[in-house]
Amino acid sequence: MRSDAELIRSILYYCGEIQNNITDVGNDIEDFIDSRMCQHACSFCIEQIGRNVKDLSKELTDRYNEVPWSEIAGMRDIIAHRYHRIIIDRIWATITENIPVLKESCEKILYELERS
pLDDT tens figures, 67-83? 999 999 999 988 888 76
Q: 101 falls in which pLDDT band (50, 70, 90)?
A: very high
Give the residue among 70, 15, 4 at the shortest CA–CA distance from 48. Answer: 15
Greatest Cα pair distance in the chain = 45
Q: Can you give the pLDDT at residue 31?
A: 94
Q: 84 falls in which pLDDT band (50, 70, 90)?
A: low
Dist. CA 82–CA 72, nearest whole Å: 15
Residues assigned a catalytic role? 76, 81
Predicted model pTM: 0.94
Give the residue among 71, 17, 57 at the shortest CA–CA distance from 40. Answer: 17
Q: What is the pLDDT of residues 8-48, one digit of tens each?
A: 999 999 999 999 999 999 889 999 999 999 999 999 999 99
